[in-house]
Structure 1
């Protein structure tokens, strides 16, 4: 492949040649490191980009990973996240499946028809611009990490030239970094650039998904020229949503609370949380569509709405529904009425990956919301849409499985300031699932089309697969709600025999390098060798059936007893799940919760009622999804 350099780039590199060593563009010592480190150093020197700027931008986009040429959720490729939406594809929306996102038996099932997807902005096709600058083709830039890094460096140099700034000092590259974000408004561009320069100040080191050791040396106290962002011609600062931390770019894109001609209304419910109901959960979703389409849908009164959407390319956040109100997003009305829904631009089914800019922005938002509402930073309360239980046996099969097995929960909790650690001793009765994300690549299928059976790309995953016996060749477990009497599958959407990073389970047995946990009334075995553990010993509460009970029912919601309902509110009947929690089994418990039902079936909020009962429930980690059991049926025990 040609490595020809456009004449204008030769001039920029030559102008800064005398300053290269002073700003750390590429010293011989650095060039002697790992191949990927040398590729960054070579590209920085070739295009006159400060090495720490190039490394900082790449880290915010991809954490320096190449992802084997697979696209990010917003169509970005390689360490520099060069975007090619033509190749990445992706259509539809998260709610195209059979799930009723509202999940309220008191109202007809909600199956809105999405409008036509919005066309992506032309500025999000950076692979073409980079290919032109390098006189190469888009396919090469998508699949060759070294050429991808050169393409990113060429773009940064080009953006710096457009600003008319001639400097090899990292602090003078703020405008080029802000431009690289692809943001359309100056607030989001600044937030991206601030994150890059924070990374430059603090430094970073990690091993990439293909085993490359990369180091960005810390440069404490670097103060970039933030005024450069004003010269990019971007949209003026968007009005900030009232409910975002100051450290993120956040705009208000309100969802309409509107009465419809057919007597119904959309697309969420007005409430008064936390005065009316405590907010217990934050639900992590992916959109299964582009940012622009997701925002268009949230503003459609005939569709449905959630609280926030996070953009992949730069981490921009849009708030749609006030946190005091109830969104229609989780497919379970009990969870909806007690949660905040955060959508992330992405396609979980395609084996795509999430950008560091998105992870950081989302973690700042979720951390802020968790502190504000007293939500514990654990996987019993910060849950994926895939952890939300069905409401009745008939709804289990239609429940969603996003954000999927490629969402890096361990990294996300690091960013939340709540890293996953061992909290129990040797032989503990509980374990926290915690495989190494790097190199953990279950052989999932169906990323091209759910149910196709075709292998997914070899992509790092947070998921651990369970077997009926301590052997990789043993069958997977059965999920009666999903498959009847048939075993689960390795389809990427099938959560019937899979555990997720951060979840806690009760140990059912150990044999050699294998550990068994209680899961959907069965013993599920996973490989857990000491030299590469997939789980950490944990402490916490364990729930077991009370003596004398052969089995206890499991529920998908914690609704009140019939006598608690006022005469004007129809009783919501509880339907046990098609699983068995038998005597002798034990499950990790997140604690005791009260019974509540939010009756909100009319447009007038004055008619809305929160029904509270005397019945108490215990939230347990029963399978991949959480469930609830009646406190009167179980005994709780603290284990260490």
Structure 2
């Protein structure tokens, strides 16, 4: 009887809702849908709005699923969708050696069984339960925003009832229900999620969604939630261990094995003594290309590769695998590995409409702020790298470098959460620009998400395309490292040859109307940058160019020492240039200065490891979509 009544109440609401992909609804429609669902289910509207914000930032995504199979503003999850995307774990694709050092055997590949639907945790099956509770068919929960919101409200109301608590009008009484909604199976993650929801309630939010709707949540700074309710949920405690995380996130210890196999082989990381032995200069952002359980199984495989942290999409939960003092095998470039921390985010680069939850963005940003403060890492895009920004070590490895987290990662939002929003820092005639298109409205066509050559579904992107002339019809610039034969770059979702990403800064080569040219991979590269809808902001910065008398200087994918710096018993590593040239008259933005270093670690016993440091110094530069290095002795630096 209750289910039938619920369906009857919903009929007018659902019949009036626009289908996925419909024109923008009238102003206020989405706000009203939250209010009506909250009233019908007996949930405070501020709680419903804040939970939805933490999952989707109130976006509908046109009915497309998130990276973990979550649908709509309330991120109701579907197990089948989640399962369908677990076939190609991140480091199993392509020929990239995640360790990136020829002193050890190539380490890539890996496999883990995909769980059956019945084995998936409840957090990946919330859409099923929302359908039972609300009486709304699953397909409508996926595609109709009003239905999705009603289903999420029904889940919250059920959590409150199951806790034996009344449907109070006071948001403070809903802390336990919010914690339960997270789907977390441990108390720390559930509490962190609920804390974030109530932080949104206290501070308020206003945002224009992807459907053009303005949604508002007024600030309520006096709300003091009953945090003790989480203790009554019966959740486990996270695995204890030597975690290195800020207190503002939920973090557990799931160690990666350090194991010797015999015949000199071992995995899946190296012992070290950072930052005493080497500074930690970079944080590398990855996506996993696998579901959470598969990710954890792989990083616990001694024959696989490793990274320091994994982050779960549904609730932002963090697992640490490798101590920060040690070197994980994740970036495909040994110089970067030896001086970085790797963060793997549960997600899928080529899902046409993939989207990441606000919960994961927020905990990731807190972790990065903590790491940056601990190791004095600048919060900029030349030190907070995507895996797709890490250079190949030598010419032969460029084609196999990975391309995650790809064009759908929202770098602008991420840097706002880091407390370093990307804003103009110079006037209209600045010599440097920083890429920053409007993520939601900027939707360049990508191809190959599902089928090679076919267009991906429209989606917001933080990347701009680079052309050989100031015209959208002009060919894209070439990347001779990716295509030694000189072919043009493509619109492929994994093709980084003519792509500049949000937060990356480049020296201006020319301005012409609504187009701006920058120096990129040794050539002049144009991108659309209209005055009324700019895709870049003007910026300050240091730039470098070949020193006087040099027509060109070589560019490197790693900053290794000169031959004379190597002690006896340590093989000299070649300082092999990439196939690009930095030509006289061109300028590139400087990311920092670093000594030439090589971490010699070819054996299991760390007593046989050596850090080789030379006199040669390098500058890191934003050379293309990926960073690169040039010798300090080859260039001169000036302010743009």
Deviation at 1:438, TM superposition (A): 1.6
Residues 560, 595 of structure 1: 8 Å contact kept: yes
- Match of residue 474 from structure 2: 474
- Match of residue 638 from structure 1: 639
1:232/1:629 CA distance change after superposition, 3 Å: same
| Structure 2 residue 382 is matched with structure 1 residue 380 | yes
Question: What are the superposed Cα offsets for residues 87-126 of structure 1, whole Å, 9 maximum, x if unpaired?
Answer: 3421221112211000002222222332323453244211
Residues 9, 47 of structure 1: 8 Å contact kept: no
- Helix, strand or coil for the counterpart of 2:262? coil
- Match of residue 85 from structure 2: 90
1:564/1:616 CA distance change after superposition, 3 Å: same
- Give the Cα–Cα distance (whole angstroms) in 1 for the partners of residues 638 and 345 of structure 2: 37
Unmatched tracts of structure 1, length 5 or more:
11-31
- Match of residue 99 from structure 1: 96
- Match of residue 27 from structure 1: none
Which shifted more, 402-411 or 229-238? 229-238
- Helix, strand or coil for the counterpart of 1:490? coil
- Helix, strand or coil for the counterpart of 1:349? coil
Deviation at 1:469, TM superposition (A): 1.0
Question: What are the superposed Cα offsets for residues 201-232 of structure 1, whole Å, 9 maximum, x if unpaired?
Answer: 11011111121101001111211111221222
Question: What are the superposed Cα offsets for residues 394-429 of structure 1, whole Å, 9 maximum, x if unpaired?
Answer: 110100011111111111111111111111222111
- Match of residue 397 from structure 1: 399
| Structure 2 residue 38 is matched with structure 1 residue 44 | yes
Residues 105, 572 of structure 1: 8 Å contact kept: no
- Helix, strand or coil for the counterpart of 1:431? strand
- Match of residue 364 from structure 2: 362
Structure 1 residue aligned with 2:421, among 419, 432, 445? 419
Deviation at 1:591, TM superposition (A): 2.3
| Structure 2 residue 148 is matched with structure 1 residue 148 | yes
- Give the Cα–Cα distance (whole angstroms) in 2 for the partners of residues 340 and 433 of structure 1: 24
- Match of residue 108 from structure 1: 105
- Match of residue 75 from structure 2: 81
Residues 63, 356 of structure 1: 8 Å contact kept: yes
1:118/1:333 CA distance change after superposition, 3 Å: farther
1:516/1:527 CA distance change after superposition, 3 Å: same
Residues 477, 488 of structure 2: 8 Å contact kept: yes
- Give the Cα–Cα distance (whole angstroms) in 1 for the partners of residues 480 and 580 of structure 2: 7
- Give the Cα–Cα distance (whole angstroms) in 2 for the partners of residues 241 and 504 of structure 1: 37
- Helix, strand or coil for the counterpart of 1:275? coil
Residues 56, 73 of structure 2: 8 Å contact kept: yes
Within 5 Å, give how 1:201-280 maps onto structure 2: 201-239=202-240, 241-280=242-281
- Helix, strand or coil for the counterpart of 2:508? strand
- Give the Cα–Cα distance (whole angstroms) in 2 for the partners of residues 309 and 393 of structure 1: 30
Within 5 Å, give how 1:12-51 maps onto structure 2: 34-51=28-45
- Give the Cα–Cα distance (whole angstroms) in 1 for the partners of residues 186 and 570 of structure 2: 47
- Match of residue 428 from structure 1: 430
- Give the Cα–Cα distance (whole angstroms) in 1 for the partners of residues 205 and 123 of structure 2: 29
Question: What are the superposed Cα offsets for residues 160-186 of structure 1, whole Å, 9 maximum, x if unpaired?
Answer: 111121122111111111111010111
- Match of residue 333 from structure 1: 334
1:122/1:52 CA distance change after superposition, 3 Å: closer
Residues 9, 157 of structure 1: 8 Å contact kept: no
- Helix, strand or coil for the counterpart of 1:505? strand
Aligned residues: 615
Deviation at 1:287, TM superposition (A): 0.4
Instruction: Please give the TM-score of this superposition, normalised by the length of structure 1.
Output: 0.94
Deviation at 1:445, TM superposition (A): 1.0
- Match of residue 21 from structure 1: none
Which shifted more, 324-333 or 416-425? 416-425
- Helix, strand or coil for the counterpart of 2:397? helix
Instruction: Please give the TM-score of this superposition, normalised by the length of structure 2.
Output: 0.94
- Helix, strand or coil for the counterpart of 1:260? strand
* Root mean square deviation, CA, Å: 1.7
- Give the Cα–Cα distance (whole angstroms) in 2 for the partners of residues 248 and 493 of structure 1: 32
